[in-house]
């Protein structure tokens, strides 16, 4: 078939679907998936659109996600996929960070955003503003401490909280969302206070419990993304002064051992996979004067994935700009992009 015939064919099909010539459609943001429509047919496209359960009130945003459907993954394997931007962020109080967070989400349009330290009871969670910009909200919190949430542009098939799944056992520190093609686990791991404290022992025990949780519920062959505030800087490049800080909480050999055991189960650090020598941080202590401007940071927030998703990961990076905005968290956003099977 000649290119001219193909063009006429596409134009005819477009007229049949919409009653408009194709040149009229170019530039309409709400018609961005037109190539997908021509490719898979109107009926099949609508079935996919409905099955993904996009937010019905935000057609433009929803269509933007659907338009990411393609035929080649990052590793070259053929099959239908969509690009998925996944983000982790310790908000240190979601209500205090609400204006910053909403503006950042409108700008960056993440597919999945995992939050730690929401510090709010479920009955007081600010759900409506996120739903208004097209996000499904899953959360488990408590008053003044801890709290986790997952915002997604697609409604998850299932959400579980805590080690037990129903939120009774460490629910405000662990939440999992099951989507078609990927499961996302968001954790806020205990800080540990100091190596000689009971809280440090509790932290190491928590890491062991998390290892057992993964071993009990998943396989390393599953498409898993594990994110959150791990409260551990894994390597010397991840802290501003590795010699002075070695042995302190969040950069201690026992913590490194606990994290390494969990990573060995089947996870890879997506950021280090793409940026093996880059020295960037995600946390700067409020208590240190001008810590951000002086570069006195830690990389303790992470996005990890099992091997089959590492193969399809496209990039990972840290957005430090929000740390300079009014009323920032002491953390900032870490992001990764994957090709995920539809």
- Please tell me the predicted confidence (pLDDT) of residue 71: 53
* Residue carrying structure tokens 């071993």: 215
**DSSP secondary structure string, 236-301?**
GGGBS-HHHHTTBTTB-HHHHHHHHHHHHHHEEEHHHHH-TT----SB--TTSTTHHHHT--B--E
Could you tell me which of 273, 254, 329 has the C-alpha nearest to residue 297?
329
229 noted as active-site residue: yes
Q: pLDDT of 110-152, one tens digit each?
A: 999 999 999 999 999 999 999 999 999 999 999 999 999 999 9
Q: Is residue 144 part of a domain?
A: yes
Could you tell me which of 188, 143, 201 has the C-alpha nearest to residue 161?
188
Statement to judge: residues 214 and 269 lie in one domain: yes
Statement to judge: residues 116 and 22 lie in one domain: no
Domain encompassing residue 113:
84-341
Q: pLDDT of 50-75, one tens digit each?
A: 443 333 333 223 323 433 555 545 55
- Please tell me the predicted confidence (pLDDT) of residue 79: 61
Statement to judge: residues 220 and 103 lie in one domain: yes
Q: Is residue 76 part of a domain?
A: no
Statement to judge: residues 130 and 186 lie in one domain: yes
- Please tell me the predicted confidence (pLDDT) of residue 246: 98
- Calpha distance 270→334 (Å, rounded): 10
Domain count, the chain: 2
Statement to judge: residues 115 and 60 lie in one domain: no
User: Which residue among 45, 89, 188, 207 is the active-site one?
Assistant: 188
Low-confidence stretches of the chain (pLDDT < 50) are 1-67, 72
Statement to judge: residues 184 and 239 lie in one domain: yes
- Calpha distance 184→227 (Å, rounded): 8
188 noted as active-site residue: yes
User: Which residue among 45, 54, 229, 240 is the active-site one?
Assistant: 229
Q: pLDDT of 32-47, one tens digit each?
A: 444 443 344 444 434 4
- Calpha distance 285→294 (Å, rounded): 11
Q: Is residue 326 part of a domain?
A: yes
Statement to judge: residues 27 and 160 lie in one domain: no
Secondary structure element (H or E) that encloses residue 228, with its range: strand 224-229
Q: CA quadruple 101, 107, 109, 110: dihedral positive or negative?
A: negative
């Amino acid at each position: 078939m000649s290119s001219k015939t193909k063009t006429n064919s596409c134009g005819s099909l477009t007229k049949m679907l919409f009653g408009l010539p194709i040149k009229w459609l170019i530039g309409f943001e709400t018609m961005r998936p037109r190539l997908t429509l021509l490719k898979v047919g109107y009926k099949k496209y609508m079935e996919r659109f409905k099955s993904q359960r996009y937010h019905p009130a935000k057609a433009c945003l929803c269509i933007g996600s659907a338009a990411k459907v393609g035929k080649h993954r990052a590793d070259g394997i053929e099959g239908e996929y969509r690009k998925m931007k996944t983000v982790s962020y310790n908000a240190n109080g979601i209500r205090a960070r609400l204006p910053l967070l909403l503006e950042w989400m409108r700008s960056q349009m993440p597919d999945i955003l995992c939050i730690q330290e929401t510090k709010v009871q479920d009955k007081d969670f600010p759900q409506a503003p996120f739903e208004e910009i097209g996000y499904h909200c899953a959360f488990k919190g408590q008053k003044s401490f801890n709290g986790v949430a997952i915002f997604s542009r697609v409604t998850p098939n299932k959400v579980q909280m805590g080690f037990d799944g129903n939120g009774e056992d460490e629910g405000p520190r662990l939440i999992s969302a099951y989507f078609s093609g990927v499961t996302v686990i968001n954790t806020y791991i205990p800080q540990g206070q100091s190596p000689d404290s009971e809280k440090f022992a509790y932290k190491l025990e928590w890491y062991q419990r998390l290892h057992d949780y993964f071993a009990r519920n998943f396989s390393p062959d599953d498409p898993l993304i594990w994110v959150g505030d791990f409260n551990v800087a894994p390597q010397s490049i991840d802290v501003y002064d590795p010699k002075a800080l070695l042995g302190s909480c969040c950069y201690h050999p026992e913590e490194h051992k606990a994290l390494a055991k969990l990573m060995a189960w089947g996870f890879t650090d997506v950021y280090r996979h793409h940026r093996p020598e880059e020295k960037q941080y995600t946390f700067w202590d409020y208590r240190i004067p001008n810590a951000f401007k002086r570069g006195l940071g830690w990389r303790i927030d992470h996005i990890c994935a099992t091997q089959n998703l590492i193969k399809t990961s496209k990039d990972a990076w840290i957005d430090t700009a929000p740390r300079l905005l009014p009323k920032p968290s002491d953390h900032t956003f870490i992001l990764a992009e994957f090709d995920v099977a539809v």
